[in-house]
A = this chain, B = another copy of it.
Amino acid sequence: MDALQEAATACVGCDCDEELAGGEAAAGGAMEAAVRALLVGLGEDHRREGLRRTPKRVAKAFRDGTRGYKQNVKDIVQGALFPERGVDKNTGSAGGTGGQVVVRDIDHFSYCESCLLPFSIRCHVGYVPSGGRVVGLSKLSRVADVFAKRFQSPQRIANEVCSALHASIQPAGVAVAMQCWHIPLPENMKCKSSQIWIRTSHSSRSGVFEGENSSLWNDFLALVKLRGIDMEMDSHSAILPWCPLTPHDEVPPCNGHAKGATNGSTSPRSGSTPSSMVSAVSSMILSLGEDPLRKELVVSPQRYVQWLMRFRACNIDVKWNGFTLNRPGEAATDHGAIKSEMHLPFCAQCEHHLLPFYGVVHIGYFGNGDGKGIDRSSFQALVNFYGCKLQVQERMTRQIAEAVYTISRRGSIVVVEANHICMISRGVEKIRSSTATIAVLGHFLTDSCAKASFLQNIIPNITHGGNMMEL
């Protein structure tokens, strides 16, 4: 079997530079064959350069991303429990007997069991030591990771982390609070992308944290609030479905609360979930050691394929003929001769990893001197056309610039800013990283003032900038 042999070979230079042996190689081969079936179903040539190693990369990402199935909490915590004196019980609570310890803002990612896409987690874990023992702080993060790295729902992770820590540390109690962010459907991506992420907050508690009026639970919430996170306010928000690929009526009742924007338009395009692709995804779940018949996972392959099929190859070409030129005064922002349309949202699928990358496109061009411009909706249609497929950011930037150039022959400039889920999940895990690409055509190439003027007019996003070393 070619696929099997290929999988068993070290993959130098790629993220997947590891040797697989025996059963793992067979599972890896099955995974890769399944990914190839998905690529074929998407209308792609899986042998073309950009996709040639995609099956290997996707298989590795899923394997790493679900490594929690093979990990054992006892192995992690054992050996990291330290005797630590506490105060006299009559005096109060501190140290090894009763003092609360909270590690806040632990970032992880997990896989949504409803649709198999990665989602982001910010986790806050507290516990009250008992028996004069404290646990090494990093273990709270490592135990959370064991349960994050599975096919999960936010509430289940919170519950499982709480139970596992309680059983392994044997403290007086454990408190877990989590904020999770799920990628929305591409059509729900709005200009200010931070507003449309589907966010949910969940918590779980044991021992002394339990009960309506637990003083320790209130302390935990207060200590988390010092990081700007109000779990109580979060839990008062409306209950909405968490996974945008799960129709409202399909959502099982849950203990947590979700807030965010979804429009519920989750019906697949007709005929968009070929059974060969669905079977391929089921076989991937099986290869990862999960049960594809577990009730939360039964429909997931279909939803994952529905998601992928939004990015299927199409051979139509974009035409500018139908695009309307709007009236003077209604044109896009006009800086002298330079017109621009900023912050056009998009969501594409990275062809190297079959994972979304999303962000905004900024377009500049020289007007024709008649004050007329191209309207925003036409640009958005253009961005959607080039964005909604298996892509790389560099190519998408060039394609949009070239398309704009066909009607503005004096010059076009395009900047794309994107977050790549493949840079957040997988081994690299650079969650704050953001990629910018730029294409410059025509006069913008020689007119450095025009280019600088366009770049200066992009409104920066500075929420992530500045000093990283604050407490």
Q: Chain A residues in contact with chain B, CB under 8 A?
A: 11-15, 17, 49-50, 53, 74-80, 82-87, 91-96, 99-107, 120, 122, 129, 134, 136-138, 141-142, 179, 181, 193-194, 197, 199, 215, 218-219, 222-223, 225-229, 352, 358-360, 392-395, 397-398, 401-402, 405, 411, 414-415, 417-420, 422-423, 426, 428-442, 444-445, 448, 451-452, 455-456, 458, 460-471
Contact = CB atoms under 8 A, between A and B. Distances in A.
Given A142-B428, A437-B101, A441-B87, A470 B463 contact: yes
Given A14-B80, A181-B468, 16 more contacts: A12-B78, A13-B80, A87-B441, A94-B440, A94-B441, A95-B397, A99-B397, A99-B440, A100-B437, A103-B433, A106-B433, A107-B433, A194-B467, A199-B467, A223-B436, A229-B466
B141 A423 contact: yes
A448 B219 CA distance: 10
A99 B398 contact: yes
9 residue pairs, one from A and one from B, having the closest CB atoms: A228-B465, A228-B462, A94-B439, A13-B79, A92-B441, A95-B398, A13-B78, A94-B398, A194-B470
A194 B471 contact: yes
Contacts of A471: 193-194, 358-360, 417-419, 434, 461
A470 B193 contact: yes
Nearest to A129: B394
B193 A469 contact: yes
Copies in the complex: 2
B460 A226 contact: yes
Contacts of A122: 468
Contacts of A95: 394-395, 397-398, 439
26 contacts: A14-B79, A14-B80, A84-B392, A84-B395, A91-B442, A94-B414, A95-B397, A99-B438, A105-B464, A106-B430, A107-B468, A137-B420, A138-B428, A181-B468, A194-B467, A194-B470, A197-B467, A215-B448, A218-B452, A223-B438, A223-B455, A227-B464, A227-B465, A228-B463, A463-B467, A464-B470
Given A14-B79, A102-B436, A138-B426, A219 B94 contact: no
B452 A99 contact: no
Contacts of A433: 103-107, 141
A12 B442 contact: no
A106 B104 CA distance: 21
Contacts of A442: 91-92
Contacts of A222: 452, 455-456
B451 A227 contact: no
